[in-house]
Structure 1
Amino acid sequence: MTQGLPKEKLLRIAIVLLPVTWFVTYTTFTFKEKLGVAIFSPFGGWQMGSNGLFMYAHVPPQRTGVPRQFIKLHNYTIKHMDSLNRLKQRPDEELGIYYLWDEKAPLKLYLADKYKKDSTTPYLKRWASVSPLYGEYGAWLIRQHPGAFLKHYIWPNFLNYYSPPQEFLGIYNMGSDTVDPGAVSWFGYKSNKVHHFSKNKNIILTAVFPLLLAMINVVFFFGFIGFTILGGFAKVSPYYRKVLWVMLLIWLGNLAFSVLASPIVLRYQAFPFIFTLAFAVLLLGFVIQESRQESKPVEENPLPDPAI
């Protein structure tokens, strides 16, 4: 027994952690073997670099004091920011995937320049090889301007958690009327042409979800506060109390991870939508029920007949 914890609890924790630890370790060593980079997810470095660039687009460029390993990449960044400043409508006005995937953005330009004389290295290996550098570069940019990062990345992304944009779920097949050969084979299509029922290719069904998620998040947040103020924790079973605390921990953890990790969009919030809706309904029901009981007038006991 360790620190008073029962062996059964330790066993349960181990059952949860061991498979996750094994998966992370196996994935890291597999990337090292196949791609030459010992990293759990190469995408993480690209994402960190992208997050830093979204912030850096709003601050004066730093031309001196740049660490040696970042100089070439940073020069691409400065040139790119200068070119974007001449545009009336910038492609990075909203948080998204611009700095991740656009061929004219600094990350892709640096990758192309690094391997411009190499036609043999597979693209996936090239893409993974720069991930550590991009992760360090993004972290360096953020450390240089923490206030700007809070203002131009964290706060807008927090608002996106409240009401996530539709992104790819807002336009049918990303606006294209064809699909790749892989999709044709997978779904058994007769051709690569696809059709939709919307005149402007917009997906009508998903248009309501940003507003719906905003309402659900508000109801859950204030429902939990109301549940606490009305003494809900003292009126439910110990098991239900644990479930509520676990739910709150998951909700806060998902909020923190979502806001910090990457620009939030609707497709990332499917799971939070389901469990937040379920508990929001339960908490709102409790608050309404308790409010009705408190609003009922107290019935006065009738006076007994005087003794004769």
Structure 2
Amino acid sequence: MKQQQYFYHFLFREKVNKQLLTIGLLTGVGYLLLLRVLFPFPSFYADSYTYLDAAAEQQPISFRPIQYSEFISFFHNFSTSDLPLIAGQYFSAVLANLFLFFTCTYLFKLPGFLKKIVFALLVFNPLYLLTANFVLSDSFFCSLTTAWIACLIWIIYKPGIANILGQLILLLLLFKLRYNALIFPCFTTLALIFSKQNVWIKTGVAIASFGILFILMDKISDTTQKLTGTRTFSAFSGWQMASNAIHVLRNQPADTTNFDSEQRTINHFVINYLIDKDSLKVKEEEVTASYIWDRQSPLKQYLNYYASLDNYTDTYFETWTALGPVYNTFGAAVIQQQPLAYIRYFVWPNTKRYFFPVMEAYEQFNEGRDSVDKLAARFYNYQSTNIDNRHASLHIAALAPWKYLFPVVNTAFILLSLLYLITGRYRRQSRLFNQVLLTVTAFYLGNLCFVSAVAPNVFRYHLFVITLLLVFGTYLGYLLANKKADVS
């Protein structure tokens, strides 16, 4: 409690910080008003309609993780307008960024001018405003991840019940938003190792962090089995696994000796697809998710075949879900058989794609359309499916530079981290700062490796990375530029 009072004093009674907090909140209000003047409608993408459909029908499961649909439903309770959702997404970003900013500047010193620069990068940066204007899970995932990292920093510094419970709640929400949060408890464990508390408490919190995710996985599997007849935690993961495996098969054939009959049939569909060069819509070296969604892909062709079987009368979603475990087994068989080929043809190109990201949904405003699907118009009570997108070019122009800034920010952080280690500057800094930096760096590398190994990288999946690198990259640059600098 005492430490919380100190932080309260730092935040609300120190004149500079109180001013910055006020500026941050007022800027958020002003930015949101400007956004609604320029863009009276949010930007929709193909994924948006899946989320909206699940929210409108109050579905307990969907093609994608259900948490974002639950957020949509929650904000829809306040108004049938889309404004509460967009405002909620943006102010979540504002508050999370302020939480991380004040946490870091409370624990680690920065010169006044650098402190203001970091503040500006986190608060005045239009990136957070514009990404919040999409009906996609990206903005919430970025905000919650930022807040979760801030909780880990507090756990390392001086753990308390509020920080521990906060990270557990955030972890649960993050996992329900995106399943790549499955690896996040590993970094909670690292933070706990660094924290000063009883080993049994550390062990208990680490077990709880992993435990809540496995309990949730089991619950989702039960619900999926009850509603579709197929027990699986994530059918989408199975489709993704098979899609990834096709990257191997389009370069090297599989040895089907140990495949079962179903796997051989799927492989046959893949071979026929790859033979027909006209249907191969992607370059051989390109990493893609089109095999999951393209109607002509072998996975979709096999789905149609599977659904046509005499004894099969399920709905499309039930069929799609049933094939999740099937495709997971097939994809795993191909990848385990040729792991080096998988690294060569999927992981390595996908890692390069991380540093030179595809903007995907952010390439255009509302997919370049001046209308939305009837589902969105009905859900948000639009007068028609036509929307005002007269300033779409401004939306695109404001996001476009990040295609080039993202690799710069990432490369700079990696180089600064290496220099910090090589030059031995870490010896002059406090154990706390080094522990926090190590946790953030481990999280950065872990996320990069995990995502690059399991799913095609696109820019919007890594918004939270920008937030972390802007903050800690500034600290590293300051420490390296000033030999006697000390942030402790």
Shorter-chain TM-score range:
0.7 to 0.9
Q: 1:148 to 1:16 in 2, by over 3 A?
A: closer
Post-superposition CA distance 1:14-44 (Å, at most 9, x none): 4423322321221122112222222211111
Tell me if 1:274 matches 2:445: no
User: Which of 12-21 and 37-46 deviates more?
Assistant: 12-21
Task: Identify the residue that residue 426 of structure 2 maps to in structure 1.
Answer: 233
CA shift, 1:283, in A, is 1.0
| Larger helix proportion of the pair | 2
Tell me if 1:205 matches 2:381: no
Task: Identify the residue that residue 134 of structure 1 maps to in structure 2.
Answer: 327
Tell me if 1:242 matches 2:454: no
CA distance in 1, matches of 2:450, 2:390: 36
Q: Given residue 97 of structure 1, which amino acid in structure 2 is its aligned partner?
A: A
Tell me if 1:123 matches 2:310: no
3-state SS of paired residue (1:203): helix
Structure 1 unmatched runs, 5+: 294-308
Task: Identify the residue that residue 108 of structure 1 maps to in structure 2.
Answer: 300
Task: Identify the residue that residue 290 of structure 2 maps to in structure 1.
Answer: 98
CA distance in 2, matches of 1:60, 1:202: 44
Count of aligned positions? 289
State whether residues 282 and 288 of structure 2, in contact with CA within 8 Å, keep that contact through their aligned partners in structure 1.
no
Report which of the two structures shows the higher radius of gyration computed on alpha carbons: 1
Post-superposition CA distance 1:257-289 (Å, at most 9, x none): 110110000111111221122211211221112
Q: 1:101 to 1:75 in 2, by over 3 A?
A: same
CA distance in 2, matches of 1:292, 1:191: 59
Root mean square deviation, CA, Å = 2.8
Q: Given residue 112 of structure 1, which amino acid in structure 2 is its aligned partner?
A: N
Q: 1:190 to 1:69 in 2, by over 3 A?
A: same
Task: Identify the residue that residue 199 of structure 2 maps to in structure 1.
Answer: 6
CA shift, 1:99, in A, is 0.2
CA distance in 2, matches of 1:167, 1:92: 19
Q: 1:230 to 1:138 in 2, by over 3 A?
A: same
Taking structure 1 as the reference length, the TM-score comes to 0.84
CA distance in 1, matches of 2:229, 2:394: 42
Task: Identify the residue that residue 183 of structure 1 maps to in structure 2.
Answer: 376
3-state SS of paired residue (2:375): helix
Q: 1:59 to 1:81 in 2, by over 3 A?
A: same
Task: Identify the residue that residue 298 of structure 1 maps to in structure 2.
Answer: none
Q: Given residue 450 of structure 2, which amino acid in structure 1 is its aligned partner?
A: F
Q: Given residue 288 of structure 2, which amino acid in structure 1 is its aligned partner?
A: G
CA distance in 1, matches of 2:380, 2:475: 40
User: Which of 134-143 and 215-224 deviates more?
Assistant: 134-143
Post-superposition CA distance 1:152-178 (Å, at most 9, x none): 211110011112110121022223332
Task: Identify the residue that residue 22 of structure 1 maps to in structure 2.
Answer: 215
List structure 1 segments (4+ residues) > 3 angstroms apart after TM superposition. 60-67, 86-93, 117-120, 197-202
Post-superposition CA distance 1:172-199 (Å, at most 9, x none): 2223332112211333321112343468
Q: Given residue 213 of structure 2, which amino acid in structure 1 is its aligned partner?
A: V
CA distance in 1, matches of 2:382, 2:484: 56
CA shift, 1:89, in A, is 5.9
| Identity between Structure 1 and Structure 2 (%) | 25
Taking structure 2 as the reference length, the TM-score comes to 0.54
